[in-house]
Structure formats: structure tokens, C-alpha cells
Amino acid sequence: MKKVGVISCSGESEPEGTIARNAVRLVMEKYRPGATVSLCLPLYLAGDEGERDFARRFPVIAVDGCGKACAKWATEKYSGKVQDCVDIGELLKEWGVSERLSRSHPGRLENEVTERVAREIIKKMDEITG
Ligand code: SF4
């Protein structure tokens, strides 16, 4: 099975960062187990060669909470171009979600958005793996 790396931003202070991490977990545990390798952004930034080497050898999708694109930026700085990326802030605009999302008390809206982001990631993974 073709492996795809998914690296989520670690936006602790932003609800979109939490959504990014939770969506990646959904993909890894529920939708594409076995095909998804989750890369740890803090470990990656700390210089872990295993994470960086994986991103050099396998396609990677960066999932970022906002346009600052920390996960994408870090991957491209240390390993090379990402195969694709997800910007949750842009998706929310596209989907017309303007309510303030909660980071600490996720409810129905946050869960729905997380599911939708997971589906976006899956779509991109399926394009990569064919
Ligand atoms: S991409 Fe945005 S939300 Fe994610 S860590 Fe960077 S600044 Fe924070």
C-alpha cells in the first residue's frame, strides 16, 4: 500500500490548529489506517532525521490551520516540496463558516468541520495514491 505522510500544524492557540490535528487523527485511525503516516511537526522542527527523511522519500500533505502554513513551510525548508496542502482558514471561507470556533470546548460545529477537513485530506490522498 502506498504510504502518504500527513503533517499537521501545531496551532495550540487557534481552534483551526486543533481541528488540523484532529482531522489528521481521523484520517489515520478511521479513514485510511495503514496508508497514512502522521509526521510530528515539533519533532520534525527539533531536527529528527527519521521524520525529515520520510518526507524526502514519500509524498506529504501539509495540513495548516491558517495561511501562515507552518507545517508546509517547515516541510519545504527541511525536506522538499510537499505534494499538496490544506489551509483550513481558506476552507472555512469557502464553506461560509464564519462563526468563531472553540478550541477548548469543541461542539457540533467543530466536529462537523473536522470531518469535512478529514474528507479534504482523503481526497488529496486518493489523488496521490490513485
Ligand atoms: S499554520 Fe497558523 S494555526 Fe497553524 S501553527 Fe502556524 S500560525 Fe498557528
Helix, strand, coil % in the chain, rounded to nearest 5: 55, 15, 30
**What pLDDT, on a 0 to 100 scale, did the predictor assign at position 117?**
98
> How many other C-beta atoms are found inside a 10 Å radius of the C-beta of residue 130?
5
Q: Residue 69: CB within 6 Å of ligand 1?
A: yes
| Sequence-distant (≥ 6) Cβ neighbours of residue 111 within 8 angstroms | none
Domain count, the chain: 1
Query: pLDDT at residue 30 above 90?
Result: yes
Q: What is the distance between the alpha carbons of residues 89 and 33, in angstroms, rounded to a whole number?
A: 26
Cα 22 to averaged position of ligand 1 atoms, centre (Å): 14
Determine the average pLDDT of the residues in 56-72: 97
Q: Which domain holds residue 77?
A: 4-129
Nearest CA to ligand 1 atom 7: 68
Q: Residue 16: CB within 6 Å of ligand 1?
A: yes
Q: What angle do CA 31, 100, 110 make, to 5 degrees?
A: 20
**What pLDDT, on a 0 to 100 scale, did the predictor assign at position 74?**
95
pTM given for the model: 0.96
Cα 31 to averaged position of ligand 1 atoms, centre (Å): 24
